[in-house]
Structure 1
Amino acid sequence: MFIIVGLGNPGKEYEGTRHNVGFEVIDRIAEKYNIAVDGKKHRALIGKGMIGGQKVILAKPQTYMNLSGESVRSLLDYYKVDETEELLVIYDDISLENGQIRIRAKGSAGGHNGIKNIIAHLNGQVFPRIKVGVGEKPPRYDLADYVLGHFSKAEQELMEEGYDHALHAAEQIIDGEITAAMNEYNRTKKEV
């Protein structure tokens, strides 16, 4: 079984913001695999389904970003999965260009409060993750205002491509192909 967690903040006012790209990717996966993410358990909206012959649980924590670890810990304990092999966390990253993705099997929080909280609740940082780039914060811009802001039309087009790439990478990771996913996506975008 695989638990795929997309990070974000609950509530209409946060829909479509940079901080909610994890929710956006979960929605894409749910749509493609016809999984209803409408159950309320473990302080998350969850849905159960199958991807490539593998049982999956899609989860959108409802704890707000900074307490994401509470929901993730509860999910892992209940379903008894190994976070190093069967957990995938998808979230926003301001150090990547809009729509660029980066895959890691482990690593630090890199200043991301949602990941910081998950690491604290798991007592470790070894779990697969997909970072979805939301672009660098402009100078003298408040970080919270930036990540809670919305994308421009041009940025949104890049994000749509990023969501598709994140969906494809998630499929590879579920299939046991994290190295292939890293080789495909962990390179800088080349100018055309």
Structure 2
Amino acid sequence: MYVVVGLGNPGKEYENTRHNVGFNVIDILGERNNIEIKKIKHKAMIGEGRIGNEKVLLVKPLTYMNLSGESLLEIYKYYKVDNERIIVIYDDIDLDIGKIRIRKKGGPGTHNGMRSIIGKLQFENFPRVRIGVGKPFKGQDLASFVLSRFSKEETHDLNEALNKSALSIESIINESIDTAMNKFNG
């Protein structure tokens, strides 16, 4: 089984913000694979189903970004899933809008959601898909930037990145992470 976790903040006021691109990809994966994400369990909205031949759990933590690790730790303990079968999707200010980057492991960088996850799980060797959301303007507060919505000009590149991210996760699950990295890291 794979656990695919999209990071974001619950609530209408956070919908379609830069920080919620992980939630957006989970929604796309749900639609593409006929998985309803509506059950509340483990401090998250979850949906169980299949991508290809693999059983998957699609997860949107409801703990708010900075406590994402609480939800994922419960899921990790409950399902006893291998590290390599946890895939986390999140926003990255160091990538341009429209770019995605797949990695097998790594540190949290400046991302508080990833800090929470790595802090709770006590390991960092799990795949992740980072989605570029652009950088704040000089002097702009980082928190207000990641909680802002995308401009009309950014929407095309964003939608391309969200769909590419969903395809990359299907590739990780159906093929391998190495294949996905070769196809989508560019």
TM range (shorter): over 0.9
Matched, 1:177 2:176: yes
TM-score, normalised by the number of residues in structure 2: 0.98
Matched, 1:7 2:7: yes
Partner of 1:109: 108
2:44 maps to a residue whose letter is A
1:123 maps to a residue whose letter is Q
Distance 1:26 1:158 in 2: 18
Which secondary structure does the structure 1 equivalent of 2:129 belong to? Answer: strand
1:13 maps to a residue whose letter is E
| Offset at residue 155 of structure 1 (A) | 0.7
Percent identity of equivalent pairs: 53
Partner of 1:53: 53
Q: Which runs of 5+ in 2 are unaligned?
A: none
| Offset at residue 157 of structure 1 (A) | 1.0
Partner of 2:68: 68
Which secondary structure does the structure 2 equivalent of 1:139 belong to? Answer: coil
Moved over 3 A (4+): none
Distance 1:91 1:106 in 2: 14
Q: Which runs of 5+ in 1 are unaligned?
A: 188-192
Distance 1:100 1:71 in 2: 27
Distance 2:31 2:170 in 1: 14
1:5 maps to a residue whose letter is V
Partner of 1:148: 147
| Offset at residue 185 of structure 1 (A) | 2.1
Which secondary structure does the structure 2 equivalent of 1:160 belong to? Answer: helix
Q: State the Cα deviation string for residues 131-184 of structure 1 (Å, max 9, x = none).
A: 000011111000000000000011111110001110110011112411111122
Distance 2:182 2:138 in 1: 32
